[in-house]
Amino acid sequence: MLKNHIKIAWRSLRKQPFFTFLNTFGLAIGIAGALLISLYIYDELSYDKMFADADRIHRVNADIKLGGEDRKFAVTPAPIAETIDNDFSEVELTTRFRTRGSALVRKVDTEVNIKEQQATYVDSTFFEMFGIDLLVGDLKTALKLPNTLVLTKTAAEKHFGINEALGQNLLLNNEETYTVTGVIDDLPDNSFLREHTVFMAMAGYEDSRIVNWGSNNYQTYIKLIPSANIEDLQAPLRAFLGKYVIPGVQQFMPGITEEQFKAAGNHLIYSTIPLTDIHLNSDRVAEISANNDIQSIYILSFIAVFIIVLACVNFMNLSTAHSLKRAKEVGIRKTLGSNKGELIRQFLVESVLVSFGSLLLALIFAVIALPFFNELADKDISMPYTNPLFWLILLASASVLGLLSGSYPAFFMSKFIPVKVLKGDSGSLGGSNVRNALVIFQFAISVFLVISTLVVYQQLEYIQNKDLGFSKDQVLIVDDVYTIGGQVASFKEEVKKLGFVINATLSSFFPTPSSRSDSVFAPLEGATDQENAVSMQRWGVDYDYISTMDFKIIAGRDFDKKFKNDSTSIIVNESAVAVMGVTPEKALGLSYTPDMESENPKYYKIIGVVKDFHFSPFRDEIESLSMHLGDFAYSLAIKLEKGSFTNAIKSIEGIWNKVAPGQPFDYYFMEDSFNNTYKSEQRLGHIFIIFTILSILIACLGLFGLAAFNAQKRTKEIGIRKVMGASVSQITYRLSSDFLKLVLVAILISLPIGWFAMNKWLEDFSYRIEIGWWVFALATLLAVAIAILTVSYQSIKAAIANPVKSLRTE
Amino acid sequence: MLLQLNNIYKWVNSGGQRIFLLKDINLEVEQGEFISVMGPSGSGKSTLLNVIGMLDSFDEGEYHFLEESVHTLKEKHRAQMYKEYIGFVFQSYHLLDDLTVQENLEMPLLYKKYKSPERKAMVADMLDRFNIVGKKDLFPVQLSGGQQQLVGVARALISNPKLLLADEPTGNLNSKQSEEIMELFKQLNNEGVTIIQVTHSESNAAYGSRIINLLDGRRV
């Protein structure tokens, strides 16, 4: 029987190539879209799961509110690891990371440095904690001694073969000598350590052994024993404040008590987060690598479900519409004794056949689209061809999809009353309400996606064009200038002499992502009162900084070499002045100190106030900020004249090679770095656009099929009207307007939903657009235009048909 | 003369063979005639009627309607002509199921650019003339076959056509109902309407003033 079903199904599909194509194509697009998104989500969810015992590993977090500012850290004080080890029998192991950013690496006897993006100090428990094996080296001794390090395979091979790696001496940043004690495999792309290539023994890092509860610089991971419950650790961890932290800082702030600390509105809460949750659920200060947002995973899941549902709805719609052509077949089969169940099975076989065909087509689509998708999503996803589970899931979901979307048409058709359908009475076939609802549903989703896309893009556009308060264009930043030591000033002067250079400044701190450092500043007067403290960014800059960055000074003056004591001056921003509770003019002359813990605190006098500028993403409010003249700088920022940058870069590199032979010339444009900050939004925008187009395409396929069906169903009516003198345009209008009504209903449903959802999304941004009415107008216009285009072909075709044919009585 | 057909041929190509639907048809119709077209199934009666009604094209020959050469007219003008001069009555009535009697009558007028008050007056007139005022708000399914055909005829006549074409108007009716429709045709003919009907029934054909016999697309 099944064989017969398949044979009949195959024939009837082949007999209707157009409908079969619409069905297969629509479903294939849906499956391909959902497949790509699923692979993406699967990849996102797989982060850090590859580590042995990943489910028992947790990171210690610190929420600190001090001086009116609330910050959430992924890092904790150095002594917390040892303390946890001692205090909790549930904890088997602790490991600390102290990241130090990029490092220049070369073999001791060579000249040329190679830059590694991420180097970190790490405890020797690292290997046991994460179940990492050494390719060469001894687990028992690796990273135990000071000045030893372990490299990843790729990093090691830049200098020597893996087999001769052991015992090699490497020079880091031209001054620290390390001995290689092991090589590990490259760390997976979906792990939090993906960017890290150099691991140095914590034993050699002095700071890690000092018991200082006041500064947070260490990522601390703990591994529980199998029987332990992480919840049991939370309360004791919170008690660390009174037990260790307060006594620890009493040496700087004599007499401070936990009660005082809390009464001033401060808090300090230690908590934990499972390792496997970090990638999607953690957005803290000093994350070890960039994380994603669980929200974007939710949004993508929604889109995947949307797309699949849209495609299924399409399938149902087209199949029921198509069933009109099958009505006669159903009638004959029923008269010949086929029962309902038999018919349902027949139609289900057909729909499963179509869904398998779609699956095949979808795989082809997905394979073709994967490279583009990877670029779009900034991923390196591949089809898990060799995974039997992948195929199993695909086959299972294709079957389910076929059965699900075939069920309504099958039941619908099996209900046909033979006498009526054989007489050709197609008016009584019904089901049109369901179909109309489905079309409304499809278009509502499409319009919603159009609105979302418009808003996301508008917000991105807004960010791109907003007055940032500084000038990010034509600014080239040369990194690692500290490696040339004392010659850095002359390098700057050489560069400034170049014709196309407008200005140049040395600093480690820039409005685009770069170093950040903040301190609590206490005023000269009323220093003992914690409420007067101001938490500010503390940026070391030079005399040319403000003019190069193009900040606007709204009160006071810039740093100036004419004034002898500018080394004890600071310039603050508007937000800082606001926190101090004075006007910019009144703020001038006030003195603050960032190190009141020391016996002889150094006070800085405010000499200028700059207009606020955006130095953190638009999601966040502008924080308080102070600038002082610093004597150390990672980078040189060079403001160039408009024009070709290639020559400019070449000339600057020439100077660099003269003053710093052998050092890599590492540079980037501030604008690129700025744009990187909004990559995730941009990604979201691109993904939105793509899947909006897909969903509209699917909805159009459905509408197209339905218009065909409708025209077919109303052939008789069209014929009569034509004979009575209706013109082609009158009939076209009549047929199209019915669909436009559905589309308008869909629009009415989706406008408020779109408005609500997008306002919710925008709430995440401190600086955001207002959604204009034109967004809705445009979405409406677009939906209507697309619907008209889709429907009119069928309507016109029906309208110009010869009525004689349709009115012929059998 | 109302219309004239000269050497009309119509054919379809099937399997490399030319099958003639109409073969060398010559016909002159004067105003006020009542013609019955007879012949067995497949002899081309309906095709001839459709050609006369300008709903169907032909492949060869000339067709003159009120001094106009239909075979040279553009589609648009042809539509204009049959809209103005020809009314159709069908075997299965072809009323629109979703419209009431009144709305069905009004429908052709919508396509002829009559103003609403005019349309109302003409519909009321027709309802009156055919004695179906009481049924104006009923839907076709609520009427008997004879009544439905009555509405069909009324609809065909509402814009005062010069020619009424009826394709087996009584084919779906019982004998009493067909008699009534035929009586109506007779009366309309007396009032000056030219009628061409296709029929299988000798008795219906007898109402006409002239009978045209067709066999395999050819006049006999």
Q: What is the pLDDT of residues A273-283, one digit of tens each?
A: 999 999 998 88
Q: How many CB atoms are closer than 10 A to CB A746?
A: 23
In this prediction, residues A630-640 reach a mean pLDDT of 87
Measured CA to CA in angstroms, residue A190 lies from A133, A304, A306, A366, A700 at distances of 18, 22, 27, 22, 38
Separation of alpha carbons A173 and A115, rounded Å: 9
**The two structure tokens encoding residue A718:** 């069209």
With CB atoms and an 8 Å threshold, state whether B97 touches A727: no
Q: Work out the pLDDT band at A67, boundaries 50, 70, 90.
A: low
Mean pLDDT of A498-506: 90
Rounded distance between C-alpha atoms, residue A61 and residue A287, angstroms:
10
Helix (H) or strand (E) holding A153: helix A153-157
What is the per-residue DSSP string for chain B? --EEEEEEEEEEEETTEEEEEEEEEEEEE-TT-EEEEE-STTSSHHHHHHHHTTSS--SEEEEEETTEEGGGS-HHHHHHHHHHHEEEE-TT----TTS-HHHHHHHHHHTTT--HHHHHHHHHHHHHHTT-GGGTT--GGGS-HHHHHHHHHHHHHTT--SEEEEESTTTTS-HHHHHHHHHHHHHHHHTT-EEEEE-S-HHHHTTSSEEEEEETTEE-
Alpha-carbon gap, residue A447 to A776, rounded angstroms: 9
pLDDT given for residue A531 in this prediction: 66
Q: Which two tokens stand for residue A331?
A: 């009638």
Tell me, what CATH number does B43's domain have?
3.40.50.300
Tell me if A740 sits within 8 A of A787, measured CB to CB: yes
How many C-alpha atoms does A557 have within 13 Å on its Cβ side? 10
Lowest-pLDDT range of A257-261, A333-337, B38-42, B117-121? A333-337
Q: Which of A57-66, A113-122, A305-314, A675-684 has the lowest mean pLDDT?
A: A675-684
Put simply, the answer to whether B46 touches A720 (Cβ < 8 Å) is no
Whole-number pLDDT of residue A431: 64
DSSP state for residue A275 in the 8-state scheme: H
The answer to whether residue B75 neighbours chain A at the CB level (below 8 Å) is no
Percent of chain A residues topping a pLDDT of 90: 29
pLDDT digits (tens, 9 = 90+) for B160-169: 889 999 988 9
**Burial of residue B201 (number of CB atoms within 10 Å: 0-12, 13-18, 19+):** middle
Query: What per-residue confidence (pLDDT) applies to A150?
Result: 94
Given an 8 Å threshold on Cβ–Cβ distance, is B88 in contact with A723?
Answer: yes
Judged by a CB distance cut-off of 8 A, whether residue A716 touches chain B is: yes
Q: Outline where A561-678 has alpha helix (H).
A: 574-580, 584-587, 645-659, 670-677
* 3-state SS assignment for residue A213: coil
Structure tokens at A675: 């744009």
The 10s digit of each residue's pLDDT in B200-210 is 888 999 999 99
Residues B91 and B169 sit within 8 Å (Cβ to Cβ): yes
Mean predicted confidence (pLDDT) in A80-103 = 91
Mutate to test the interface with A, among B90, B164, B170 (most CBs of A within 10 A): B90
Which token pair is B65?
């309607």
| A720/chain B closest Cα distance in angstroms | 7
Name residues 133-172 of chain B within 8 A of A (Cβ): 155
> B88 or A340, which is more confident?
B88
Domain interval for residue B202: 3-219
* pLDDT tens-digit readout, A565-598: 888 899 999 988 988 888 889 889 888 888 766 6
Q: How confident is the model at residue A810 (pLDDT cuts 50, 70, 90)?
A: very low
pLDDT value of residue A198: 94
Output the six-digit token pair for B6.
């000269």
Q: How many domains does one find in chain B?
A: 1
Segment A119-139 shows an average pLDDT of: 92
The top-scoring range by mean pLDDT among A685-694, B24-33, B86-95 is: B24-33
Q: Confidence band (pLDDT; 50, 70, 90) for A439? A: confident
Query: In chain A, which residue's Cα lies nearest the Cα of B56?
Result: A804
The chain A residue lying nearest B79, using CA atoms, is A725
**Count of CB atoms within 10 A of residue B34's CB?**
19
The more confidently predicted of residues A661 and A361 is: A361
- pLDDT score at A485: 76
Q: How far apart are CA B16 and CA A55, in angstroms?
A: 78
Size of interface A-B (CB pairs under 8 A): 41
A645, pLDDT greater than 70: yes
Give the mean pLDDT of chain A. Answer: 85
A116-120, A467-471, A700-704 — most confident range: A116-120
Residue B36 · residue B207 · CB < 8 Å = yes
Report the residue count for chain A: 810
- Tokens 């700059």 belong to A610
Q: Are A507 and A633 in contact (CB under 8 A)?
A: yes
The whole-number pLDDT of residue A191 equals 92
Minimal CA–CA distance to A506: which of A493, A523, A520, A525?
A493
Inter-chain residue contact A802 with B56, CB threshold 8 Å: yes
Helix axes A679-713, A715-723, angle to 10 degrees: 60
Do residues A450 and A782 make contact, with C-beta atoms less than 8 angstroms apart?
Answer: yes
Q: Is A720 in the B-facing interface, judged by CB distances under 8 Å?
A: yes
B107–A contact, CB cutoff 8 A: yes
Residue A271 pLDDT exceeds 90: yes
DSSP-derived letter for residue A76 is: B
Per-residue pLDDT, A187: 93
Q: Is the pTM of this model over 0.80?
A: no
Mean pLDDT confidence for B213-219:
91
The 10s digit of each residue's pLDDT in A290-329 is: 788 887 888 888 888 888 888 888 888 888 777 777 777 7
pLDDT of residue A662: 74
Q: For strand A176-184 and strand A267-274, is the pairing parallel, antiparallel, or unpaired?
A: unpaired
**Pairing state between β A518-523 and A534-541:** antiparallel
State residue A225's pLDDT score: 93
Average pLDDT for residues B183-191, to the nearest whole number? 91
- Of the given ranges (A69-73, A146-150, A228-232, A248-252), which has the lowest mean pLDDT? A248-252
> What is the C-alpha to C-alpha distance for residues A752 and A760, in angstroms, rounded to an integer?
12
User: What average pLDDT does the segment A654-673 reach?
Assistant: 84
| pLDDT beyond 60 at B62 | yes
Quick check: B85 and B163 in contact, CB under 8 A? yes
Is residue A154's pLDDT more than 80? yes
Residue A427 predicted with pLDDT over 60: no
